[in-house]
Chains A and B, each alone.
Chain A
Amino acid sequence: MAVRRKSLGSSLSPATALEFRGVSYRVGGNLILDDLSFQIEPGRTLILLGRSGSGKTTALKMLNGLLFPSNGQILVENRATTDWDLIQLRRSIGYVIQEVGLFPHFTIGENVGLVPRLQGWPPDRVAARVAELLAQVGLEPSQFLNRYPRQLSGGQRQRVGVARALAAEPKLLLFDEPFGALDPVTRVELQDQFLELRDRLRKTSIFVTHDVREALRLGTEIALLHRGRLEVLTTPDEFVKSEGPEARAFLSTL
């Protein structure tokens, strides 16, 4: 199995893309994450599944240093997030959120090319990369390059969001319910696109959702969070056979 629960103290395999090591997160008196430990190997797509408030988005935001654990450690490429240069860590991680968060004053091309530009790529390399990525997510570059986010549909904007996340050739991709606000038809289209990119690029990805159907479809592994604890971590095939009450509750929605 590519992902397993990991006990403290065992030696790290060099192939570990990232690891949660005894991670807890507290806000005031509330325990949002409770002693979370697991690791992911490169190229896998881990789904963090859970209800609202289960801690899945919190866990995600710890990977690119938007939040830091109260206890424990998050290791990205065997280095704790607290030891990373945060700017470099974030630039090497693609991040896609439900609200997309495209810069409204930038064209589509400028949005996608921002991190490569900040990383000092020469303009012609940025331009080539932007065109390549737009084509990859199914947007004709000549048609979209110079448009502004407000001139696009929700689905098109989310495609741009994915292209932007991929722009600087990140080692890790984070998705926070990226397709949650889309209509069902567009959602399935973007899921298909996601699967196609997943199998072609084989980037390590963490994908947060509360939709078990989406989880089963897109994940190579599914981690079920319940009240900040890891309930189950297994493959989609095994997940459907889970017996735990929270897993059953999710599976009953199918």
Chain B
Amino acid sequence: MDSVPERRGVTVPYRSLTNFLERHISLPRINPSLYQLAAIVASLAYLYIDSTWGKASLVAFILLTDWLDGATARRQHGKTREGYLMDVTIDRASEMLIFAGEAGTPLGKVFFLLTLANIGLAYYSIRSGKHTSLPLRCAWLVVLVVGAVGG
């Protein structure tokens, strides 16, 4: 049980892009958990914000920190099971906070329930050795941007 669950083929285009970026940008040598802490602080800040653009900016920031923590960890330690578990744990907690704030709307309720399903998928990923998760925050960012543009 020491291995890291493999990414699914459907994520290859996205992973190719992020791997390319990882090779060509310089990253500060800091504890990757600082990015995870920043993601949680931003998820809490999300609960206090009413502006749709403000919310979209925060979700974009959270997604950026999610990528940066993984990229930093991989550069410093390679892929480790501990790092994978930490990343998945914080991702699920971040989703839970964001969608707790949105569960008052019908669409928010759907995303909140999908967050619960995502925790189940995290267990499935660990058991099966294949990483499976719903990109809920990415999808929510699209919803927010469409909502903001549409007025």
**Chain A complexes with chain B:** no
